[in-house]
Amino acid sequence: MEEEVEVFWNWFKEHKDDEITLLIEEANRELRAIYKGVFIEFNLQTEPKELIVTPHGVREFFATAYALVNNAPQIEGWKITACKQPMEFYDFKIDDIEFKLSELTFMPLESDEYPEDIAVRIYHKDYVSQEGEKQNQVIEGIYRILDNLLGEESVAFDFQYIDFDDMPHPKEKDYPLSTLPAFVAHKKAERKNAKQKFPKDDMVLLEGKLESLPTLLATNQGLRYYGFTKEFPYLLHLTLNIKQIGQNGLPNGNTDELYLIEDIIYSVIVKEKNGHFIATDTFKGKRDVFYYVNSLESIEKALNSLPTEPVSCDVSYTVEYDPFWVKTTAYIYM
């Protein structure tokens, strides 16, 4: 894939002075050949001109956008940016629907269970509750405004919930949408672990059943809203295939070595402050263990510390670049 990325950027270098409409069409065609889910946009109002690699707000593809930009060379006359950044807002229309920042408002939505969540309801006079083209156009326009106000990364990852309506109901207190960036910044600063790169683990143990077999889950809830994900971008997924299991699919017999393997990984990654424990998920003779780690070198150190020929289980692993911790959201926000 690195060679294909290099080919793409070399192609852009050769064609960067082409007619602009043709260039953006061809650039997206070339990009689709190697990466799905990301797109090229241009900002021609700046000097130098700006090429933006955008996932259009889809969380799963932000890592792809950053990987592409991180491997971009210097290109004369162009600035290469990952994701749409906050920028000056201009009123616009989608068909006959007007979008004026001065006419839009929002209301914070509070949760007693999760008081640190960021959730809002945004009001636009033309919003309709019935699903269809008009509703889609209003939502599309609102998200364009949010991208301008906050940048698409904030829109995708800072909010736990965004709702829409046409106007506030009685007793609902709304605020100008232009104040939303300040509201988001305030909520993030209020979070108890906002400035903690290594917050205290908050372990939650859960038991359930799947396919009539028990499943055991341990998750670290101390990393909700974590603000330093990009400093620990590598997802280490260990799979321990347990050799001795009972009819219920859980470990049967001596589990000392199994726990030793987990303790070694935890010690090298967490205790040495190389990363964070996310979860263990045990089901049907298999235990999946998840960590986010600061570097490939730290992962190599942890793996090299394991027993070379464990008796109780077979160990396999994968490593993925996931700087926004998208792939483990279901564990972190249970």
Q: Is 319 exposed, middle or buried (0-12, 13-18, 19+ CB in 10 A)?
A: middle
Angle between helices 180-190 and 133-150 (to 10 degrees): 70
- pTM for the complete prediction? 0.84
Strand partners, 236: 291, 319
Q: Give one word for 257, left, alpha or beta, with left for phi > 0 and alpha for psi -120 to 50.
A: alpha
153 Cβ contact list (under 8 Å, min separation 6): 62, 83
Q: Is 63 exposed, middle or buried (0-12, 13-18, 19+ CB in 10 A)?
A: buried
Going along the chain from its start, the domains and CATH numbers come out as 2-82 (no CATH), 92-190 (no CATH), 203-332 (3.30.70)
- pLDDT attached to residue 1: 62
Strand partners, 42: 51
In degrees, rounded to 5, the angle at the alpha carbon of residue 83 between the alpha carbons of residues 81 and 85 is 85
Task: Give the residue ranges of the chain where pLDDT is below 70.
Answer: 1
Are residues 124 and 135 in contact, defined by beta-carbon separation less than 8 angstroms?
no
Q: What is the pLDDT of residues 250-297, one digit of tens each?
A: 888 778 888 899 999 999 999 999 999 999 999 998 999 999 999 999
Are residues 216 and 203 in contact, defined by beta-carbon separation less than 8 angstroms?
no
End-to-end CA distance of the chain: 34
Number of residues that make up the chain: 334
Q: What does each C-alpha distance from 58 to 38, 96, 264, 295, 334 come to in angstroms?
A: 9, 27, 36, 25, 21
